Chain A
Amino acid sequence: GEDVEQSLFLSVREGDSSVINCTYTDSSSTYLYWYKQEPGAGLQLLTYIFSNMDMKQDQRLTVLLNKKDKHLSLRIADTQTGDSAIYFCAAGYSSASKIIFGSGTRLSIRP
């Protein structure tokens, strides 16, 4: 089955760009997601990308997909203190299929 992996921690300076990386194992995954979870809160879908795309940009967020290497990244430009959260990468076969989540990357912002 699918396995999604990501690093556990990332620390960046306020105003810099944050890049969170993720790898997945099943090339059949069609939908690749990024979620944000703030302390004590539920998950918020940030963005998603289809496997036939290489890049998707949405304001400060840029998602890059290397399908050959099964590597996904989320770049947050001009990182702010409000971006502090856990970011989950996830993969699914369709919009109606189960999602496999990575372990989450805790992003901390230093002044």
Chain B
Amino acid sequence: GAVVSQHPSWVICKSGTSVKIECRSLDFQATTMFWYRQFPKQSLMLMATSNEGSKATYEQGVEKDKFLINHASLTLSTLTVTSAHPEDSSFYICITDGDSQYFGPGTRLTVL
């Protein structure tokens, strides 16, 4: 079946640094990728929709200048958390479209 990978699977960084999270579709082309985050003991909340070759669409309340999304190819979308702060600590998951929904395994970000 289709596989989606995310890298890194976990990252710890200092406050103020930027962190890039990659989401790759390994054996299919993903025109659209959805980026979600999950705070501890909470549900998944959609952050933005990433479309290959065009600008991402951000959900209300999500700062586009803080969460930079690049979807330069049909197999790769990246989410960069710029100037990360402790409140950005979360579990970030990408979900791609296709004949079904395919989940990345998630990236756990901890900002000290």
Which candidate, A12-20, A54-62, A98-106, is the interface stretch facing chain B? A98-106
A16 to B102, CA, bound (A): 31
- Using a CB–CB cutoff of 8 Å, the interface residues on chain B facing chain A are 31-32, 34, 36, 42-46, 49, 91, 93, 95, 97-101, 103-106
A residues within 8 A CB of B32? 96
B103–A99 CB distance below 8 A: no
A101–B99 CB distance below 8 A: no
Q: Is A111 interfacial (CB-CB < 8 Å)?
A: no
Most chain A CB within a 10 A radius of its CB, from B45, B49, B95: B95
A42–B97 CB distance below 8 A: no
B residues within 8 A CB of A98? 34, 46, 49
A42–B43 CB distance below 8 A: no
Chain A nearest CB from B80 CB (Å) reads 20
Instruction: Given contact pairs A88-B44, A101-B43, enumerate 17 new A-B contacts (beta carbons under 8 Å).
Output: A42-B91, A42-B93, A42-B103, A43-B93, A45-B103, A95-B97, A95-B99, A95-B100, A95-B101, A96-B97, A96-B98, A99-B95, A100-B46, A101-B45, A103-B42, A104-B42, A104-B43
Q: Is A34 interfacial (CB-CB < 8 Å)?
A: no
Q: How many residues of A contact B (CB 8 A)?
A: 17
